[in-house]
Amino acid sequence: MQFCVKMTYLFETEWLKTVGALIGRPRADNIRPYGHKIAIIEFGRIMNRHYKTLELDKILEKLAGMTSIEDAHEMALNLEPVFELKKVEQLLQQTDDAVALSGRFGAPSFGGAGNCSGHLRRAQAGGCLTTGELLSVASTLRTIRTVKEWHSRSGGGASSLDGYFSGLVSNKFLEDKITSAIISEEEISDKASPVLSDIRRKIRTASSKAREVLDKIIHSSTYIKYLQDTIVTQRDGRYVVPVRSECRGNVPGLVHDTSSSGATVFIEPMGVVQANNDIKLLQSKEEQEIERILFELSANAGEFADSIIHSYKNLAQLNLIFAKADLAYSMKASKPIMNDRGMIELKQARHPLIDKNKVVPVDVMLGKEFDTLVITGPNTGGKTVTLKTIGLLTLMAMCGLLVPCADNSELSVFRRVLVDIGDEQSIEQSLSTFSGHMTNIVQIIKLANAGSLCLIDELGAGTDPVEGAALAIAILERLRDKHAKIASTTHYAELKEFALRTPGVENGSCEFDVATLKPTYRLLIGVPGKSNAFAISKRLGIDDEIISRASELVSNENRQFEDVVEKLEKRRQSLEKQLENANRLTAKANTEKQKAENEMQKAKQRAEREIEKARQEAQRIISRTRAQADAVAEELEKARKAKDMSVQARTQLKKNIDKMEAHADPVKARNTPDEEYKLPRPLKVGDTVLIYDIDKNATVLAPPNKDGVVLVQAGIIKTRVDIKNLRLLKSNNKPAKDRFSSTRNVPSRMDVRPETEVDVRGETAFDAINIVDKAIDNAVLSGVSKMTIIHGKGTGVLKREINKYLKTNKAVKSQRLGVFGEGEDGVTIIELK
């Protein structure tokens, strides 16, 4: 046991006295060195019994079943709790990192690895390994290499497992050398060495010659009548033919064997004796060469023995850690917060051995506000399961296993976890139930200290209730004097009262629904529970008279106490319902608040989109105006050079300038007094109107004020507009000519949105050509004569396809790649006709 190894000298005397008492020695002073060893073994046996009571062994069996390496399997079965906080936190971090890596990249495969330490040490000492042993070494090397490559591919960043992964040393040279030389345990490859390949080639040649001679014999008219069968076979590695026993003198050769019936003899004809001798000699050389190859491979393996053994140990540790991660995943476990101050706070804790579809999560606290928890409640209510959950999850965490509970749960490292759960009755040892329990309690009291967790089920049960309750209180007081953390279950009302009046001791109860006779398995801290024996009995059919008589027999004090407990329970349930209602209302308010925030965010986004749309529209107007200005400037330059201009040309130029100015101003001019519009009726809230100067529909929110200003809403924007700038759109009294009196723009060439620069980077060739084609059409309609197409350098596909297309476009006058300052090969400049 790690605990025994790590006991300090200062506590050794006291510890030996305790263990000496446990194993029946009269005085610890009489313990000799051999007695010390016996004491250690006995102490380990006691502690293992406590762990087994909490069913830690079943968890370790589950863990072992998830390993792939035999040594990792053994390590899992022999896993023991660790008693140092830093070491426990390190183990938990390793498991947590393995869970994270498995979740992101999938767990690595550890199959195929085996412990080759014995083989490698023998090879290191100069021994020759068999083909099977060498293949085992190669398989282990392959697993080491694949796990190492998995870690390299994962690129998961720094983790607590990096030390184990860095301890894996792949050796592909030796792995390939073994696998290329050995095909299976029975076969060596021809590629193992040139000499072996040459020998086997000669064997095949000699065998072929021998078979040719024998084929002639078995098909010869001279010998076929003496043969039992016209086949060629082998005896002792030499080619022979089957001859009838009475004709063996007719076929000259050497007899090698006789059939079981004696009717057939197997003769090696003299014509193939030399060929068989050659084959036999070559086979002997083949065996010698194979032996030499195996010695060479063994020597190579021996050279790397230390590295392979060290890597294998790291591999086995990683297999164990990732098995812990698989177990955590199957249990939906999480990493607890650890301390060494005896504080436990489990949230939604689940016993890992109960069916996950049936287990009810519990919340447990111990060691923070109180050091002793007295759990009461009816039978089958979940009291014992709660104790086992506390103990088992504590041991699991101390073994480096994640525990099935909610995040931010807290557990403590205890030096000793002492348990008395279950029926300890033993006929063989003449122990009653009470005696069996008391024997365990004696050991627990002797071993308990400030670093102990004591879990006691049905304390004081099995004897007179009055004496049992008094004894239970005395035992709890003694354990508290030793500063142990205690969780105990009971049915005694005296213990409930003890918990109520004693600081540091708290009641807990397991809920039970009397109406359905079913436990809820919820643990309630701070509330004493009722046994509900009368209610359960009545529900099951016990006569009411019996129930009434039993109630009369209960003392007034007990009845009053039970009444108080019942009132407390009703009050608790009422407060719990109020809290649940408050939580529901809070959740509803939060939902409504979130909806309002979402709507506000959407409105903000819509406003931003409108602003961006307006900005883009302004940018298009600027781009179009710039293109038109360039065209006008070009015409002016031509006119200046010509020095004279016809009246018609000047008129056309002025029209172009007027069009340019008209399109440069996106806001329409207001109506002149000559064409002033009059509303057919006064505006009222809800009317749909047209804001004439920006050509936008709006809704009237408020009637005109004394200054003739109206509050309207256009889209999501509220604004005030002069009544003269509004046109009523929905009015039955409005004449037809007034409905259409406002001027509308007629689409023309000037409405096309020209672009002097087109960026098609990131598009497919097909999409890019469509974009360029549309841009050229717009440019031609707008009078733009020059365009820049940005296609980037990249692989050159876009540049090639676009230039191929431009050669076929009739609107393109010329094309060229950009020069320095224009984008070079990343752009194409085109001139339009």
* pLDDT band, very low/low/confident/very high, at 197 (cuts 50, 70, 90): very high
What are 97's two structure tokens? 């990192």
**E strand residue ranges, 688-765:** 688-691, 696-702, 709-714, 717-722, 726-728, 757-759
Residue 407 and residue 350 share a domain: yes
The pLDDT, as a whole number, for residue 127 is 93
Closest CA to 342 of 446, 277, 417, 406: 417
Mean pLDDT check: name the lowest of 217-226, 649-658, 737-746: 737-746
The distance from CA 42 to its chain's CA centroid, rounded to whole angstroms, is 42
Task: Report d(CA 401, CA 326) in Å as an integer.
Answer: 10
484 near 453, Cβ under 8 Å? yes
Asked if 680 and 698 sit in the same domain, the reply is yes
Q: In this structure, what are the phi and psi dihedrals at residue 601, rounded to the nearest 5 degrees?
A: -65, -40
pLDDT at 740 over 50: no
Q: State the total domains in the chain.
A: 6
Query: Are residue 684 and residue 772 in the same domain, yes or no?
Result: no
Strand pairing partners for 788?
A: 757, 829
CB atoms within 10 A of CB 623: 17
697 and 774 co-located in one domain: no
Least confident window among 40-54, 348-362, 388-402, 813-827: 40-54
375 shares a domain with 266: no
Q: What is the CATH number of the domain that holds 790?
A: 3.30.1370.110
Residue 444: band (very low, low, confident or very high) from pLDDT cuts 50, 70, 90: very high
Answer yes or no: is 662 within a domain: no
Calculate the alpha carbon distances from 302 to 126, 131, 176, 289 in Å: 8, 15, 16, 20
Mean pLDDT confidence for 97-114: 91
Backbone angles phi, psi at 686, to 5 degrees: 100, -15
pLDDT score at 342: 93
pLDDT winner (highest mean) among 541-545, 560-564, 662-666? 541-545
Nearest CA among 327, 329, 323 for reference residue 69: 323
Region of residue 331 (phi > 0: left; psi between -120 and 50: alpha; otherwise: beta): alpha
pLDDT exceeds cutoff 60 at 711:
yes
Residue 652 has a pLDDT of 65
CB 465 within 8 A of CB 331: no
Note whether residue 229 is domain-resident: yes
Which residues, 6+ apart, have CB-to-CB distance to 59 below 8 Å?
327, 352, 353, 392, 396, 401
Binding residues: 377-384
Highest mean pLDDT among 338-347, 369-378, 518-527, 710-719: 338-347
Predicted local confidence at residue 673, as pLDDT = 39
Residues 381 and 503 in one domain: yes
Task: Please tell me the distance from the alpha carbon of residue 248 to that of residue 243, in angstroms, as a whole number.
Answer: 6
Among 705, 723, 742, the domain-final residue is 742
Q: Within this chain, do residues 530 and 558 fall inside the same structural domain, yes or no?
A: no
Please tell me the distance from the alpha carbon of residue 474 to that of residue 338, in angstroms, as a whole number.
31
256 inside domain:
yes
What local confidence, expressed as pLDDT, does residue 279 receive? 84
DSSP one-letter code for 503: T
Return the pLDDT at 81: 94
What pLDDT was estimated at residue 599?
84
824 confidence band (pLDDT: 50, 70, 90): confident
Per-residue DSSP letter, 272: G
Would 559 be classed as within a structural domain?
yes
Residue 163 within a domain: no
pLDDT at 539: 63
Contacts of 151 (CB under 8 A, 6+ apart): 108, 165, 168
For residues 94 and 321, the answer to whether their CB atoms sit within 8 Å is yes
Average pLDDT over residues 699-720: 85
pTM across the whole model: 0.61
Backbone angles phi, psi at 352, to 5 degrees: -70, -15
Cα distance between residue 495 and residue 502, in whole Å:
10
Distance from C-alpha of 716 to C-alpha of 729, rounded to nearest angstrom: 19
Closest CA to 775 of 765, 766, 764, 786: 786
CB 547 within 8 A of CB 538: yes
Q: Which helix (H) or strand (E) holds 235?
A: strand 233-235
Q: What is the mean pLDDT of residues 181-190?
A: 91
Q: Show the DSSP H helices in 106-239 as ranges.
A: 117-124, 131-154, 162-166, 172-181, 194-218
Average pLDDT over residues 666-690: 69
Alpha-carbon distance values, 372 to 236, 448, 461, 475, 489 (Å) = 84, 14, 18, 12, 11
Q: Per-residue pLDDT for 716 more than 90? A: no
| Of 226 and 10, more confident | 226
Give 819's pLDDT tier (boundaries 50, 70, 90): confident
The pLDDT-based confidence of 496 (bands split at 50, 70, 90) is: confident
- Across 447-494, where does the E strand assignment appear? 452-456, 485-489
- In angstroms, rounded to a whole number, what is the distance separating the alpha carbons of residues 389 and 384? 9
Going 86 to 92 to 98 to 99, the CA torsion angle's sign is negative
* Mean pLDDT to the nearest integer, 189-207: 90
Rounded Cα distance between 51 and 393, Å, is 11
Round to whole Å and give the CA distance between 253 and 795. Answer: 79
Helix (H, G, I), strand (E, B) or coil at 405: coil
Annotated binding site for ATP: 377-384
Asked whether residue 532 falls in the same domain as residue 562, the answer is no
% of the chain beyond a pLDDT of 70: 77
CA 632, CA 611: separation in Å to the nearest integer?
31
The band of 259, judged by pLDDT with boundaries at 50, 70 and 90, is confident
Residues pairing with 257 in the sheet: 266
Asked whether residue 748 carries a pLDDT value surpassing 60, the answer given is no
370-390 residue pLDDT tens: 999 998 877 666 788 899 999
Tokens of 181: 């030389």
What average pLDDT does range 52-69 have in this prediction?
Answer: 93
| Contacts of 723 by beta carbon, 8 Å cutoff, 6+ apart | 679, 683, 704, 708, 709, 710
Q: What is the pLDDT of residue 34?
A: 40
Share of the chain above pLDDT 90, in %: 32
Q: Is the domain of 784 the same as that of 808?
A: yes
Out of 9-23, 125-139, 625-639, 674-688, least confident range: 9-23
What is the model's pLDDT at position 622?
73
One-letter identity of residue 600: M
Residue 832 scores a pLDDT above 70: yes
User: What is the pLDDT, as a whole number, of residue 351?
Assistant: 92
Domain at 504, CATH number: 3.40.50.300
Last residue of a domain, one of 490, 518, 540: 540
Say which residue, 197 or 468, is predicted with more confidence.
197
778 versus 425: the higher-pLDDT residue is 778
CATH of the domain at 736: 2.30.30
* In a domain? residue 184: no
380 and 524 assigned to the same domain: yes
Residues 6+ apart with CB under 8 A from 736: none
* Higher local confidence (pLDDT), 274 or 291: 291
Identify the band that residue 573 occupies on the pLDDT scale cut at 50, 70 and 90. Answer: low
Distance CA 659, CA 624 (A): 11
Distance in angstroms (rounded) separating the CA atoms of residues 358 and 687: 64
Using DSSP, how many helices (H) and how many strands (E) does the chain show?
24, 25
Tell me the mean pLDDT in the region 412-433. Answer: 69
Cα separation, 519 vs 129, in Å, equals 64
Distance CA 833, CA 824 (A): 23
Q: Is the per-residue pLDDT at 428 higher than 50?
A: no
Most confident of 25-29, 344-348, 586-590: 344-348
Among 458, 432, 398, residue whose Cα is nearest residue 84 = 398
Q: Which pair of tokens denotes residue 347? A: 């949230």
What is the domain range of residue 463?
337-540
> How high is the pLDDT of residue 9?
34
In a domain, 113, yes or no: no
Q: What is the pLDDT of residue 419?
A: 93
DSSP-derived letter for residue 710 is E
Sorting pLDDT into bands at 50, 70 and 90, what band is 645? low
* Predicted local distance difference test score (pLDDT) of residue 743: 42
Instruction: Please give the DSSP secondary-structure letter assigned to residue 8.
Output: -
Quote the mean pLDDT of the chain. 79
Q: Are residues 767 and 733 in the same domain?
A: no
Mean pLDDT of 430-437: 65
> pLDDT at residue 559 above 80?
no
Judged by average pLDDT, the poorest of 30-44, 62-76, 237-251, 645-659 is: 30-44
Name the helix (H) or strand (E) containing 510: strand 505-513
What is the average per-residue pLDDT within 575-587? Answer: 80
The H or E element that residue 815 is part of is strand 812-817
* Residue 348 and residue 483 share a domain: yes
Give the count of beta carbons closer than 10 Å to the beta carbon of residue 507: 23
Residue 601 has pLDDT above 90, yes or no: no
Is 220 a domain residue?
yes
- How far apart are alpha carbons 509 and 490 in whole angstroms? 10
Domain boundary residue, one of 524, 540, 556: 540
